[in-house]
Chain A
Amino acid sequence: MRTRPMNSTVADWTEDHVRRLFWRAGFGATPGEAADFAARGREATLAFVLDGPGTGAPMGDLVGTVPTVKGQPLDPINEWGHDALWWLDRMVRTTRPLVEKMTLFWHDHFATASQDTPLMIRQNWLLRSRGLGDFHHLLDGVTRDPAMQLFLSLADSTKDAPNENYARELMELFTLGGGYTETDVREVSRALTGWRTKRSRGGLPSIHWQAGLHDTGSKRIFGRTGRFGTQDVMRLVTQHPRHAPFLVQQLWDFFVTEPLDPATRAALVRTYRGSGLQLKPVVAAILGHDALYARLDAPDQVKAPVVHVAGLLRTTGTPITIDSYTWLLNQMGQMPFAPPSVAGWDWGPSWLSTNAMRARVTLANTLLAWGSAPLKPPAGAGNPAWSAEQHLDAALAAMGRPWLSGGSRAALLGLAAGFYDGAKPRQDRADMLQRLLRHLLISGPDAQLC
């Protein structure tokens, strides 16, 4: 079933609209995609983003060059850091970028870290497969997920010693954001007891239900009394009046930088509740909302590090052939599978600390050294006879014409105009200017925004 986006007053549909949508809902648009989907129109573009190409695997196919490191295929389970490269590659090559973007949203929302790689990848598939479906189903899966249970000590929480960690974060971070009491935390933790860790001979943990460890007594949660268990808790938190407003706000803030106005919030809550807590209609409404397309000439969402890296690779057709992205992402402040806490990452301008920006410059160094043709200009990429405007235009064309502010354009033209500094223009200097301009187009301030 195709999901129709919420009606919007966006009158025209340009390449700038496509670029905004493709960056916010995915990892950027190639020049070809921008032109193609501008021609197809708004409704067709939104339907494509939400539903995919209509063929292939529901969670997206991977197209293009298979990633390698030192000539070998990735080993995401066993090689340290290859899990991050494996997911980065999905972002780069998937036919359904929104699925990966939603997986990233849920990875931050249900932030889990410091768990065994096989468990983290298993959780990642759970988030991917349920990320646009029924939230109740997703929450139930996360609650039973071994990585989450071990991270927040729900595993081995027993009737004799209930652990409150998961119960508290379930309400504070995952579903409500407030509106509960300490009594609710204690009672929910009792209701969630009974999950037990078992280890294989190789030591890998798994989670099993052990009825004898569950507190079967009566509990009082949100003013209601019953012999509640795990399923009941899922129902109680998702039926709580604060849940729908909380969740639509989280989703809105992920995609849109404009404040969520009360009328839109109410409409999104109605959509969410009316669909039976389905996520896709809410995401469709947000992606179709005018606010997503505000200030197309002045983007103001800071690209998260993994979005920045995946976007550069995706929009320039650069396959993963080196493992440098692992430590670069770490230095940029966003190592996939390793969020800093259960609250996830701090998004927005905090991505642009001095150290993180230095890492983004190093990323540009790396891409110019090891990337594909657009990122690694070949000899003869520049022309000594070109004017400053021609130099900049060539660099912009090579990089897929990314957004460039007026101030940045003026600065780059000034740089190009003064580059030879009285020296005779030569081929090698013209090529160096192309390298420099392309570097600044991906490391400069404008490239960090979408």
Chain B
Amino acid sequence: MIIGSLLATMALAPSPALAERAAPHQPATTVGVSAREYDFALYRATVPAGRVTLVLHNFGEDDHDVQVRGPGGYRSATSADIEPEATLRYGVRLRRPGRYLLVCTKPGHLAAGMKATLRVR
């Protein structure tokens, strides 16, 4: 019985190969981002134009989200809510070089200063 349970749980080990097959061909630039009341902090200041994956972690006590605003009136969709202690991967395509702003669209958060600058070259 014990051996049977053990062999059964051995089958539960995740398959990295499956995850690898799901990876996109063109790697995006990953940017770590922290969110808390009422700040974003970006772990990479500049990225090349193209696909960018924001890896957002909420260190705060409230829900947050993120929207990227940039040159030519660019606005990304708003991400899903990020709960406290949660991490969200959020992909955007930033084609034009320039200065982009990450903002939190929760009521009052941007006014409280929840934004940060990402440069695209």
Q: Which residues of chain A have C-beta atoms less than 8 A from B32's C-beta?
A: 77-80, 117
Q: Which of A70, A80, A362, A439 contacts B20 (CB 8 A)?
A: A70
Distance of A116 Cα from B31 Cα, bound (Å): 13
| A264: interface (CB < 8 Å) | no
Known contacts A116-B34, A202-B118; is A362 also within 8 Å of B42 by CB?
Answer: no
* Contact, CB under 8 Å: A205 / B41: yes
Known: A118-B43, A204-B42, A436-B6. A80 touches B13 (CB 8 A): no
Chain B: residues with Cβ within 8 Å of the partner, total of 32
In the complex the two chains form, is B55's CB within 8 Å of A80's CB? Answer: yes
In the complex, number of A-B residue pairs with CB atoms less than 8 Å apart: 90
Across the interface, do A203 and B9 meet the contact criterion of CB distance under 8 Å?
no
Q: Which of B1-31 contact A (CB under 8 A)?
A: 3, 6-7, 9-14, 16, 19-20, 23, 27, 30-31
A202 to B39: give the CA distance in the assembly, Å.
Answer: 10
Q: Mark A408-450, 1 if CB is under 8 A from B, else 0.
A: 0000000100000000000000000001100100000000000
Residues from 80 to 124 in A contacting B, C-beta threshold 8 Å: 80, 114-118
A77 touches B44 (CB 8 A): yes
Does B57 have its Cβ within 8 Å of any Cβ on chain A? yes
Any A CB within 8 A of the CB of B79: no
**A75 in the interface (beta carbon within 8 A):** yes
- Is A365 interfacial (CB-CB < 8 Å)? yes
B13 near A439: Cβ-Cβ < 8 Å: no
Is the C-beta of B105 less than 8 angstroms from some C-beta in chain A? Answer: no
Q: Given contacts A70-B23, A436-B6, are A362 and B12 in contact (CB under 8 A)?
A: yes
365-417 of chain A: CB within 8 A of chain B = 365-366, 368-370, 415
B67 within 8 A of A: no
Q: With a CB–CB cut-off of 8 A, which chain B residues contact A114? A: 59
- Decide if A80 touches B45 in the complex (CB within 8 Å): no
Query: Could you list 7 examples of A-B contacts with CB < 8 Å?
Result: A70-B16, A79-B30, A116-B43, A117-B34, A200-B45, A364-B10, A370-B16
**Interface, chain A (partner B; CB < 8 A):** 69-72, 75, 77-80, 114-118, 199-205, 321-324, 361-362, 364-366, 368-370, 415, 435-436, 439
The 6 closest A-B pairs by CB, nearest first: A78-B32, A203-B116, A203-B41, A202-B42, A369-B13, A365-B13
